[in-house]
Amino acid sequence: MKNIELVCNEAVEWIKERVYSAGAKGVVLGMSGGIDSAVVAALVKRAFPENSFCVAMPCYSNPVDEEHARLVADAIGMEMKTVVLNDAFDTMKNLVGTKDSDPKLAIANIKSRLRMITLYYYAGVHNYLVAGTGNRSELTIGYFTKYGDGGTDILPLASFVKKEVKALAEYLGIPEIVITKPPTAGLWENQSDESEMGMTYEQLDNYILTGEAVSEVKCKVDLMNARSEHKRVPTPKFVPSEKQ
């Protein structure tokens, strides 16, 4: 980015505009302890210094994630609530009757959807919008949970690939340990974004920005993009011929 200060100022004004146009009063977001939520939190805090807060929502999570979330919240001066979702997760698994043979991701995504429910509770109480933390890299390949972390009102980072998010984080004063930690959705122990995606963010970012990549990466990204299209578009609606 040629003028990162300008980009950040524009992002802050865009957040304000979206909130006011919705008749809302502020913003709430989930704080994971990762770089994306940290950058969104910093932008939101600038937009609504008095009417914003973040929520850490551990669910059998690595304690380090909450520590990093608190580190970011303290660094930017944002209020942080903590809602532990362990019991809710166990209850949901029991209610739907999960089995050890179930796909790992189907069970793990319960966590993400419980977090969405939590954020929208707070948004409803305060008349706030929910800010999502997805970036362009993840949105391109559908690396988010539909009606989980994909269930949001605004996406401040949707135009930025991962390396650009890092540049924003450095400009916004995000703690170095959060910037340099390996990205993870925290859905299970030792999970990492790059291992699950099957490529590095550098490879993905380069293909998105330049259209150039080795054939294996091109094929993988194109396939993931096509298969996840339903996550990025409005829900299809059937229209009978007589109403067309």
Domains of the chain as residue ranges with CATH: 4-193 (3.40.50.620)
Q: Phi-psi category of 193—alpha, beta or left, where left has phi over 0 and alpha has psi -120 to 50? A: alpha
pLDDT for 131 beyond 80:
yes
Q: Helices in the chain by DSSP H: which ranges?
A: 4-21, 35-47, 63-76, 86-96, 104-126, 136-141, 162-171, 176-180, 193-197, 201-210, 215-227, 229-232
pLDDT for 196 beyond 90:
no
pLDDT tier at 124, thresholds 50, 70, 90: very high
pLDDT tens for each residue of 159-183? 999 999 999 999 999 999 999 998 8
Q: Do β-strands 128-130 and 26-30 pair in parallel, antiparallel, or remain unpaired?
A: parallel
Choose between 154 and 198: higher pLDDT: 154
pLDDT for 190 beyond 90:
no
Choose between 106 and 2: higher pLDDT: 106
pTM of the predicted structure, to 2 decimals:
0.94
CA 109, 110, 113: angle at the middle one, nearest 5? 90
Phi, psi of 27 (to 5 degrees): -140, 140
pLDDT for 244 beyond 70:
no
Mean pLDDT, the chain, integer = 95
pLDDT tier at 185, thresholds 50, 70, 90: confident
pLDDT for 78 beyond 70:
yes
pLDDT for 26 beyond 90:
yes
Check residue 183 and report its DSSP letter. Answer: P
